[in-house]
Structure 1
């Protein structure tokens, strides 16, 4: 089968276990921090042990900043398409365009019927799915409700809100008719191991391509998303071996079968951190090498779950002593920095709006308090320390935080770590000063002498915070680049 040439994407598929809701949220935050692309949640409203999918995705969206959110897949018989379209559009607006909608025609009909969804035949459930896609896309496009179908009606509906971006629709499909509909209508196809194991994928993909071409589309229009499951170890089976084994098997699925997004079932933070830090960058290297015609060099890759192995990888990115996987760690730090810098720009703009009377002090405080940078004490160090605590699953286990880890690995970093920790205290104080300036402005928000002094104090507080924070971020990037490339986060 061909490689469709799409960029690779990676994500997690945690169990929405109601008894572990804190851990599920922390796992999603971890996936966001380590740079994964997706967090995807199954949808079985009749399952007593599960949290509600949309409520959980909303909570995850509020706690993350970059990762995309998806249903995998939404239970259409229990989610009327108009309500589903509105829920997806609303979450997309609230998260800045991070929603992708997976749809399923229905399964486990005893549970669906018990939950009030009614029982449909296979043909009826697929017919209803096709109608639902029409209703959902019309809703997102803002088209007045004119649809009248056998299973759904939206006649007279006034749709809204519009989503923040064009939400892709994925379909979970295995049977011939569902594969044809996926090729005709969907943006993504999402099979799962256990239902469609790798030997079955080439034939299903070929049918999907045929349906796409027959509908006037090209196969590249449809992203192939694969739900996978496995562990790290020394086994010889699929996703049962070392990091190198995982990367090679994912590469085979990408360039040999055409799968371009991999959503791994995972509930363990250590597994997720390792998958993101080791498997993802190595897979990207191997796929890049294959796509460049196999130009590669031998490189030794050390995997602590087994002996050192020699595998084929892409040539070094540059003349640095570090591999691409190693460089990805400090590079991600810079990405987080850039996000925090952008939020600082937002704070400055909010203060400008307060000065110009375009927004209230209360609104300004509300906006600032929701920012990632505010919730993490305005420092990357605190952000990464939080990340490391999530990885361990124990927020009080600080001896496995980023700084203690680096000091154990390289005691000569003690002066650097001490400076960064001192910076944290200074910046926390400046943040408090900013908040006090906002509070003072509430007392006299007018433009008399007291109000003007309060506005000036607010501007000064922002300027002082910006000066210290930007210097701190730059220093941390430079001082920790090599140590993080060598030793990782912990």
Structure 2
């Protein structure tokens, strides 16, 4: 994948935790003082622990002078595009042109519906996003409302105010159609490392590039942003070593894979300082040197720490790179065991995908697929260590029962500061359980439709989408849990 030649930018992606609102504001101010380009905030209006994104960005804008402010990404089903356009334009005016808009088609539809938003199919969600981009740009251009689409109508609208500058639109996209929309319409693409690892970027970038060229645009018209996470210390994993290691790996991502903006998920001011003062300058220096020397081929520049397929990777190796000399081998065996269980669930996910592939290709019946999925460990234990660990964990730890009733309460008693992490994990258990139910509904729907008719093809597509949604959420959940609880488990054990 070519280097698009864009200037590098760096930013921070703080957790908008209402219980830590002062620290969030201070971290944003620190980013401004350190000269970072972006403070970018996730948008989940249904999340009880989160501050409202636009209110938070407004407070950050009032306390900073240079750093740019963005949604990462705005929840379109709960942010009607006219209201979103006005909010972004207003903040842009008030901050002197420092707003950039990350836009997402929506996820977690049960939560969206509970918050008053519409429930949309994957296709409807993409259609609505395409309409919304047109509404946003028309509003900012001061065009009298004339849009009358399937999802939005602006007939008779008199828009205003106009923003202080041309607000760029980034799209959070992972699937092929959304990637094509990004290439055709967006100013930027904003994936996250957890969902789009480096080895997936070449194919995804190629889809964006092809769509951009087809639309008469240049590939470099779409800035490639990347939400990343990591830790400083020893180890050979991606963004797990020294600032020099980080800089070399980010250089590989920039020169080899075309990523030009790196937004670090952290709430630690010391980590942010090292990122801004050591990693960013060295990365810029290395990228400049590479570009002067003619760049590198993709095969030589893909970060070596991320060459394994994330869905079948040897996770124990990842946890090992996160270890510290302060832990004994006995202590490290506890988080390593969690990874062993997760790897079992990852293997089951591969089985699910293979079963769905067999159904799509006509090699398996829907009934046999549903039966196989419902007997899997991950289905029985509701995505906790649960039933699987009732026997296996007893052998290893002697007293562990399951996460929700045993491990989580124990960790909270040992370290109350883990409450946001534990609450997020418990919430994700519920989300993934719902996705499993959605997969089951897709299987049931497939039974009702003839496999060779148009409805049957749509049902098979819906089943594939359900599997993709499950995979995205599950793999990110497992990786987050392994990283977030690694040190706590090594210190405090299972319970």
TM-score range, shorter chain: 0.5 to 0.7
Residue 294 of structure 1 deviates from its aligned partner by 6.7
Residue 203 of structure 1 deviates from its aligned partner by 0.7
Q: In 2, Cα distance between the equivalents of 1:37 and 1:81?
A: 25
Q: Which runs of 4+ in 1 moved over 4 A?
A: none
Please name the residue that 2:73 is paired with: 73
Please name the residue that 1:282 is paired with: 282
Q: In 1, Cα distance between the equivalents of 2:41 and 2:99?
A: 12
Q: In 1, Cα distance between the equivalents of 2:260 and 2:42?
A: 20
3-state secondary structure, aligned to 2:165? coil
Residue 19 of structure 1 deviates from its aligned partner by 0.2
Q: In 1, Cα distance between the equivalents of 2:94 and 2:271?
A: 30
Please name the residue that 1:188 is paired with: 188
- TM-score, scaled relative to structure 2: 0.59
3-state secondary structure, aligned to 2:226? strand
Residue 3 of structure 1 deviates from its aligned partner by 0.4
Q: In 1, Cα distance between the equivalents of 2:64 and 2:164?
A: 17
Structure 2: gaps (5+ residues): 296-323, 325-495
Please name the residue that 2:218 is paired with: 218
Please name the residue that 1:14 is paired with: 14
1:429-482 Cα offsets, whole Å, 9 max, x none, are: xxxxxxxxxxxxxxxxxxxxxxxxxxxxxxxxxxxxxxxxxxxxxxxxxxxxxx
3-state secondary structure, aligned to 1:57? helix
Answer yes or no: is 1:246 the counterpart of 2:256. Answer: no
- TM-score, scaled relative to structure 1: 0.60
Q: In 1, Cα distance between the equivalents of 2:218 and 2:179?
A: 15
Q: In 1, Cα distance between the equivalents of 2:201 and 2:252?
A: 12
3-state secondary structure, aligned to 1:73? strand
Please name the residue that 2:3 is paired with: 3
1:62-106 Cα offsets, whole Å, 9 max, x none, are: 000000000000000000000000000000000000000000000
Q: In 1, Cα distance between the equivalents of 2:188 and 2:151?
A: 24
Please name the residue that 1:132 is paired with: 132
1:226-270 Cα offsets, whole Å, 9 max, x none, are: 000001011100000011110000000000000000000010111
Larger radius of gyration: 1
Q: In 1, Cα distance between the equivalents of 2:79 and 2:138?
A: 17
In terms of mean alpha carbon deviation, does 27-36 or 286-295 score higher? 286-295
Q: In 2, Cα distance between the equivalents of 1:211 and 1:66?
A: 33
Q: In 2, Cα distance between the equivalents of 1:109 and 1:233?
A: 38
Q: In 2, Cα distance between the equivalents of 1:107 and 1:235?
A: 34
Aligned residue runs from structure 1 range 276-425, under 5 A:
276-293=276-293
Aligned pair count reads 296
Q: In 2, Cα distance between the equivalents of 1:228 and 1:273?
A: 16
Please name the residue that 1:435 is paired with: none
Q: Give the aligned CA root-mean-square deviation in angstroms.
A: 1.1
1:386-428 Cα offsets, whole Å, 9 max, x none, are: xxxxxxxxxxxxxxxxxxxxxxxxxxxxxxxxxxxxxxxxxxx
Please name the residue that 1:272 is paired with: 272
Please name the residue that 1:201 is paired with: 201
Aligned residue runs from structure 1 range 254-269, under 5 A:
254-269=254-269
Residue 171 of structure 1 deviates from its aligned partner by 0.1
Q: In 1, Cα distance between the equivalents of 2:118 and 2:179?
A: 24
Residue 194 of structure 1 deviates from its aligned partner by 1.1
Please name the residue that 1:146 is paired with: 146
